[in-house]
A and B are shown apart, each in its own frame.
Chain A
Amino acid sequence: MPKSPQDVYARHLLSPRGYPLWMPEPSHQLLVYRRDGLRIGDVGVVIPEDGCFDVFFNICLPQDHPFHRATGVPDNFKPIELSDIDIRTAVNVENPGRIIANSSVKSVRTVERPADISSRCVIRSPRRCRLTFLTTTLQDSIIWTGIRVYLVF
């Protein structure tokens, strides 16, 4: 049976960070979920074919929350109220430009548009492949102008 991209992706990037989703974007149509995305307390399933998380309900949201309006909540539902202090947040845990890769990525890269360059960074991926890349500033956040990744087997 052919493997789905999610199969390959999840198998290689599963790590202490957690389970990687091939579709990180919120799947739910409701505006409040589209804006905020998945959240702590969501109960649902990973859809194996496309690697998204399908949320059924959230154990921290009240029963009458708009998200619960469509399908309701399970029997014996008692929301667990969380305050900000109950959630630990690390804002810059991954720096801009982070590459997370498995060991078969041996990677070197060249910047395509040197005119855009404003700074130069060197990072190491978790598996010790050294990646050099050049960055520019766009809308107050550092992003790449270009990177060439060689995937070596």
Chain B
Amino acid sequence: MSSSEGALLILPEGAQRHDLRNHHLFLEAATQHGADWYRFAEERVGQIIANDSLYLITGLYKTTSWSLAAFEKTAGTAEYPAQFRVSQTGGNNIAAIYTWDTTRALDWRVGPIEKYEIPNQAVFIRGFKVALRTGMFGTRRISVKADAPSTRPNPARSVGAVLGNSWLRYVFGGLSRGRRAKSHGSGTQDEVTASPALNDARNEIQNSGALAVSEHVVVQRIPEASQVSTVLAISRVH
């Protein structure tokens, strides 16, 4: 981690913390239905998303107003004065009350623009990262892990990559569960059928130069066309 950049969150009115007490029902739901969730995201919400990007929120820090900043070093500077100010007028528009004064390059935000009495601003989120993985021989697996959400658009770069953040073990004590999908499974079964809509989406992307970056995402998720129309049987792996 470089010391030439940094970040800052100011909570002028404090914050509340909300946590799910029992994570097991959520873990179970994500493990069993993760594949349905991915399909829903693509077909109904219409988002082409990386296959490790779905996130299930189990806890948050919420507040009524905030000010935050991120900065990078500019050449030659040793000290970086930036002033956060609060004025006493502005009503419910926090953006009119809080401000930052600085002459240097500082990315900052204040908010919200529309303030409610209820703390509804989520400054931190915690939860489960729900990933859809394709392994050797076309096996598909849902893995559910207490982890930070993935923000990388290209799954090829994130496969196998784990953020070195220790807060997850601290918060969840290592809750994790996997569920595998095999093309020739046995035992009690759920069925996952990939739909024609995914075919269409993939064709559309392959035919469009503008969406070339996303092509990899879809091809990663469904590596072979034959699997798209195959009924996959899922069995639990312990």
Contact = CB atoms under 8 A, between A and B. Distances in A.
A12 to B, nearest CB: 4
A100 B77 CA distance: 23
A23 to B, nearest CB: 8
A70 to B, nearest CB: 9
Nearest to A143: B12
Interface in B22-77: 22, 25-26, 29, 32-33, 36-37, 39-41, 44-45, 47, 49, 53-64, 66, 68, 70-73, 77
Nearest to B130: A43
Contacts of B86: 143-146
A40 B82 contact: no
Interface stretch (B13-21, B132-140, B204-212, B220-228): B13-21
Nearest to A20: B124
Given A40-B60, A53-B122, A138-B88, A101 B8 contact: yes
B40 A56 contact: yes
A152 B124 contact: no
Given A97-B12, A150-B79, A37 B167 contact: no
B51 to A, nearest CB: 11
Contacts of B73: 153
A150 B88 contact: no
Contacts of A117: none
Interface in B75-130: 77-86, 88, 106-107, 109, 111-114, 116, 118-126, 130
Nearest to A90: B17
Given A72-B44, A94-B61, A48 B54 contact: no
A59 B54 CA distance: 13
B44 A71 contact: yes
A132 interface: no
Contact of B21 (A17, A45, A86): A86
B178 interface: no
Contacts of A90: 16-17
Contacts of B11: 94, 96-100
A24 interface: yes
Contacts of A24: 63, 66, 68, 111-112, 121-123
27 contacts: A5-B70, A7-B151, A8-B107, A11-B7, A14-B165, A15-B124, A18-B59, A18-B125, A18-B126, A20-B7, A20-B9, A23-B109, A37-B119, A39-B57, A40-B57, A40-B59, A43-B56, A45-B53, A56-B47, A71-B44, A82-B20, A92-B14, A97-B12, A105-B8, A151-B6, A151-B79, A151-B81
